[in-house]
């Protein structure tokens, strides 16, 4: 099976190079991997001690951040290496001050794994949430480099739990310990013989809980909101905008909207603006106008959403109206803001739990979206009670980072 896997990886690598000729995103994926070993040679010496974090994309990086911060304190003489699989993670975080080197993870060939691990020679490797690359994992085990999974999530339909999944179960056996988000993942792992599992929770709770302690002031947002109620729509995709546009156009005069699209693409933003019959302004044009006169503010830059949620009375979190994946609901929840999302959230345990607590509401169409948003706007008690549930949900679920760090402190000093 290992031989077949290696052949498939080779075929996939070739296929991706072909696709990159026609796709800008895939071009980033392919071209970004060309300089990996040169970057590592420049930033990591043979004498350096390192800790390696692998994150599939941006969301996994956010889950890794609290542990990275803790490890910098616990092991200040170690350098942090962060690898990404996807362009969205790398392009957004390639200059993060948390890491000494940020690179794409080369494709999982035996040669790449050998070159990469020899280049960074980590004291410990931490894979965040998921992505299990057998050649890397087998080599880490062979070199006696302890490997942990943090904020892991497992589902019954994954290959590990199928009768034909023996090869991938062998890859799982390379992990010293699994820190998983919820009990179902623990049960699934134990059912296939893994006892080295701790239900630690999701490190994102620790990440977002610190946000409320920071200075979240944004003068333009303050001026824009004024005394109005504000709905912040974060990380929206076109499918989410279809749900929202009717309510935006028919909402009461005392309601304003801040919309932060997931992708900053000028043509798509303009398409959306043309569907809005209320007075709208782009963030990039805010200094040329009296922003308080506008009803819809569209954020055409990145990096502001975490602070913008502090101005929200209600949050709509994007990604679940389509199939792109629900974005971070914990960012608004930490500010005690009630949350509305689309219908596709079955793979996000935090959303399921918060829905069951009545802190989050899912909608399937624009009529349902308008109805719940209007209820939040017109019923202050309902809005405040729902927001309180969200704030308590975050506060009660912190501590995952400390469990991981305590384990590392005991076992890998």
Q: What is the set of active-site residues?
A: 60
CA angle 33, 38, 43 (to 5 degrees): 115
CB 321 within 8 A of CB 240: yes
Copy the structure tokens of residue 207.
């990440």
**Residues 126, 350, 211, 236: what is their CA dihedral angle, to the nearest 10 degrees?**
100
Contacts of 110 (CB under 8 A, 6+ apart): 6, 135, 139
CB 217 within 8 A of CB 197: no
Cα separation, 185 vs 157, in Å, equals 12
Cα separation, 216 vs 234, in Å, equals 16
Cα separation, 220 vs 223, in Å, equals 5
Cα separation, 232 vs 284, in Å, equals 17
DSSP 8-state assignment for residue 101: E
CA angle 13, 14, 18 (to 5 degrees): 115
DSSP 8-state assignment for residue 106: P
- Host H or E run for residue 316: strand 314-317
User: For the residues of 357-390, what is the DSSP string, one character each?
Assistant: TTSEEE-SSHHHHHHHHHHHHH-HHHHHHHHHHH
CB 216 within 8 A of CB 225: no
Q: Within a 10 A sphere around the Cβ of 219, how many other Cβ atoms?
A: 8
CA angle 212, 216, 222 (to 5 degrees): 130
- Host H or E run for residue 26: helix 24-31
Provide the edge-to-edge strand list for the sheet that holds 122-128.
101-104, 78-84, 49-55, 122-128, 147-152, 177-180, 197-199
Copy the structure tokens of residue 132.
């299990």
């Amino acid at each position: 099976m290992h031989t077949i896997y290696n052949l498939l990886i080779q075929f996939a690598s070739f296929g991706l190079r072909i696709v990159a000729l026609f796709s800008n995103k895939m071009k980033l994926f392919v071209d970004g991997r060309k300089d990996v070993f040169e970057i590592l040679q420049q930033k990591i010496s043979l004498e350096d001690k390192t800790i390696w974090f692998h994150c599939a994309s941006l969301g996994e990086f956010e889950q890794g951040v609290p542990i990275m911060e803790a490890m910098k304190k616990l092991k200040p003489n170690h350098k942090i290496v962060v690898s990404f699989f996807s362009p969205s993670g790398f392009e957004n975080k390639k200059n993060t001050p948390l890491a000494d080197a940020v690179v794409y993870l080369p494709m999982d060939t035996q040669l790449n794994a050998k070159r990469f691990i020899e280049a960074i020679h980590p004291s410990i490797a931490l894979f965040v949430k998921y992505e299990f690359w057998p050649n890397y994992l087998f080599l880490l085990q062979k070199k006696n480099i302890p490997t942990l999974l943090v904020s892991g999530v497992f589902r019954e339909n994954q290959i590990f739990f199928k009768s034909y999944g023996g090869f991938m179960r062998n890859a799982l056996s390379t992990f010293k310990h699994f820190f998983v988000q919820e009990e179902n993942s623990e049960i699934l792992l134990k059912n296939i013989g893994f006892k080295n599992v701790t239900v630690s929770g999701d490190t994102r709770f620790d990440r977002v809980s610190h946000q409320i302690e920071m200075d979240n002031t944004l003068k333009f947002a303050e001026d824009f909101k004024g005394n109005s109620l504000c709905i912040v729509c974060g990380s929206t995709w076109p499918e989410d905008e279809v749900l929202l546009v009717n309510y935006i156009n028919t909402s009461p005069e005392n309601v304003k909207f801040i919309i932060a699209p997931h992708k900053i693409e000028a043509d798509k933003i303009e398409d959306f603006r043309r569907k809005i019959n209320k007075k709208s302004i782009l963030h990039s044009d805010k200094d040329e106008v009296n922003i308080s006169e506008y009803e819809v503010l569209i954020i055409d830059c990145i990096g502001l959403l975490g602070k913008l949620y502090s101005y929200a009375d209600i949050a709509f979190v994007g990604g679940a109206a389509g199939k792109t994946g629900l974005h971070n609901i914990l960012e608004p929840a930490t500010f005690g803001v009630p949350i509305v999302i689309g219908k596709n959230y079955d793979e996000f345990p935090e959303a399921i739990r918060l829905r069951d607590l009545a802190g989050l509401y899912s909608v399937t169409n624009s009529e349902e979206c308008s109805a719940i948003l209007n209820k939040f706007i017109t019923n202050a008690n309902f809005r405040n009670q729902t927001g309180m549930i969200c704030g308590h949900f975050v506060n009660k679920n912190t501590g995952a980072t400390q469990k991981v760090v305590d384990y590392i402190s005991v076992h890998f000093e």
